[in-house]
């Protein structure tokens, strides 16, 4: 009896250990989605907008504050119509799983060109009666429309329409920010250095806040919280002491804020190096602070000037 109990206990421990190992393995070696616009994704996009010459690139939307179920946004860079973005958004089908929808939007008139099911992880293959029902709708009309779902697939169908409605609502609320977003970088770790204020609004004697963002595209492989950060500041080429930064974390970013007190009318350069194990990223910023008198002289030199005429010089004199 005791031997039987011991055997059961040993098997239970082995099962628990194996389950734990599988969980860890799945965490670290989980198949990742392809980055950027792969040939397969591009083929889908071209079919959606009926343009075999179209090209797309993914936008960097990490800092726009979009809804967490907005997965990716892509923008047309070539083709018959460049005023197109495609948004991939997730709809939740309760306990049945998720669906992901692609919504192609014409940004010149803010209407839907087409939609397509990108991924369906529910047990219902279809959900909506007609995906073409979205075509030509603007956001207001879309939000007030109830779409027909297939019998026995109500939850999946509603999740599909929810994903399209979310994509359009987020687009309308953040249109300019989305259109101004840069192309997404696929470096595992990047460093951005910027000033809190525009350089034109900074005068000698003021304090200036410098913002340093350590951004990771995969926090499992490169967690910005674990980054070793080296900051070097020079003034007119001479190294000066680096103020102690304030550190905060937001999503996939570590944000370092440091204050330069009573800056002078000099040239400044800030170099940042972030390291996580063998992964390294660098960023820098250079800016010049002008003296108030110098700025006033420059301003008065051109005060009232409406045009400038170039005078040819005699190179022999």
Q: Is residue 67 part of a domain?
A: yes
User: Is the model's pTM score more than 0.85?
Assistant: no
Residue 157 lies in a domain: yes
The pLDDT value recorded for residue 275 is 95
pLDDT at 298: 54
According to the model, what pLDDT value does residue 302 have?
Answer: 58
* Same domain, yes or no: 44 and 139: yes
- What is the distance between the alpha carbons of residues 189 and 282, in angstroms, rounded to a whole number? 9
CA distance 150 to 51: 30
Per-residue confidence in pLDDT tens, the chain, 317 aa: 555 545 555 555 555 454 444 444 444 434 445 567 899 999 999 999 999 999 999 998 988 889 999 999 999 999 888 899 999 999 999 988 999 999 999 999 999 999 999 999 988 878 877 889 999 999 999 999 998 888 778 889 999 999 999 999 999 999 999 999 999 877 889 999 999 988 888 989 999 999 999 999 888 889 999 999 999 999 999 999 999 999 999 988 999 999 999 999 999 999 999 999 889 999 999 999 987 655 565 556 656 655 555 445 444 43
* Whether residue 52 sits in one domain with residue 175: yes
How far apart CA 160 and CA 90 sit, in angstroms, is 8
20 and 143 share a domain? Answer: no
Distance (Å, rounded) from C-alpha 31 to C-alpha 25? 11
Residues 46 and 176 in one domain: yes
Which sign does the torsion angle of CA 170, 173, 177, 179 carry? positive
Sign of the torsion formed by the C-alpha atoms of 115, 118, 123 and 126 = positive
Q: Which two tokens stand for residue 11?
A: 């098997």
25 within domain boundaries:
yes
Q: Considering its fold, how many domains does the chain have in total?
A: 3
Q: Are residues 9 and 68 in the same domain?
A: no
Residues 204 and 232 in one domain: yes
Enclosing domain of residue 12: 1-31
Q: Left, alpha or beta for 121 (phi > 0: left; psi -120 to 50: alpha)?
A: alpha
**What pLDDT is recorded for position 199?**
86
Give the pLDDT confidence score for residue 35 in this predicted structure. 67
| Residue 161 neighbours by CB under 8 Å, 6+ apart | 91, 128, 147
Q: Does residue 116 lie within any of the structural domains?
A: yes
Q: Tell me, what's the pLDDT at 220? A: 86
Specify whether 236 is located in the same domain as 269.
yes
Whether residue 117 is contained in a domain is answered as: yes
What pLDDT, on a 0 to 100 scale, did the predictor assign at position 179? 96
Q: Assign residue 215 the CATH number of its domain.
A: 2.60.40.10
Output the pLDDT for position 258: 95
The answer to whether residues 204 and 293 belong to one domain is yes
Identify whether 312 is part of a domain: no
Structure confidence at residue 4 (pLDDT): 55
The pLDDT assigned to 223 comes to: 93
State whether 49 and 152 are in the same domain: yes
**Domain shared by 21 and 129, yes or no:** no
């Amino acid at each position: 009896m005791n031997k039987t109990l011991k055997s059961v206990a040993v098997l239970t421990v082995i099962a628990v250990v194996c389950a734990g190992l599988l969980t860890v393995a799945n965490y670290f070696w989980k198949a990742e989605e392809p980055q950027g616009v792969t040939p397969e994704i591009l083929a889908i996009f071209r079919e959606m907008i009926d343009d075999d010459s179209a090209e797309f690139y993914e936008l960097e939307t990490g800092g726009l504050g979009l809804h967490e179920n907005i997965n990716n946004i892509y923008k047309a860079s070539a083709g018959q119509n460049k005023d197109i973005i495609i948004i991939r958004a997730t709809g939740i089908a309760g306990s049945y799983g998720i669906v992901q929808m692609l919504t192609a939007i014409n940004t010149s008139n803010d209407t839907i060109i087409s939609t397509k099911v990108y991924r369906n992880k529910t047990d219902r293959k279809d959900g909506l009666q007609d995906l073409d029902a979205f075509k030509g709708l603007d956001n207001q009309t879309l939000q007030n429309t109830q779409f027909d779902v297939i019998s026995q697939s109500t939850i999946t169908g509603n999740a599909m329409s929810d994903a399209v409605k979310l994509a359009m609502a987020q687009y309308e609320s953040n249109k300019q920010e989305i259109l101004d977003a840069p192309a997404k970088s696929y470096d595992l770790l990047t460093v951005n250095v910027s000033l809190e204020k525009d350089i034109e609004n900074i005068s000698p004697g003021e304090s200036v806040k410098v913002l340093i963002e350590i951004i990771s595209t995969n926090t499992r492989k490169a967690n910005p919280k674990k980054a070793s950060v080296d900051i070097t500041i020079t003034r007119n080429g001479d190294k000066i002491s680096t103020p102690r930064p304030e550190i905060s974390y937001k999503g996939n970013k570590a944000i370092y804020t440091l204050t330069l007190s009573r800056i002078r009318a000099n040239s400044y350069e800030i170099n940042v190096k972030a390291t996580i194990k063998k992964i390294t990223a660098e960023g820098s910023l250079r800016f010049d602070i002008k003296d108030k008198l110098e700025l006033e002289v420059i301003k008065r030199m051109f005060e009232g000037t409406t045009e400038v005429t170039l005078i040819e010089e005699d190179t022999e004199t």
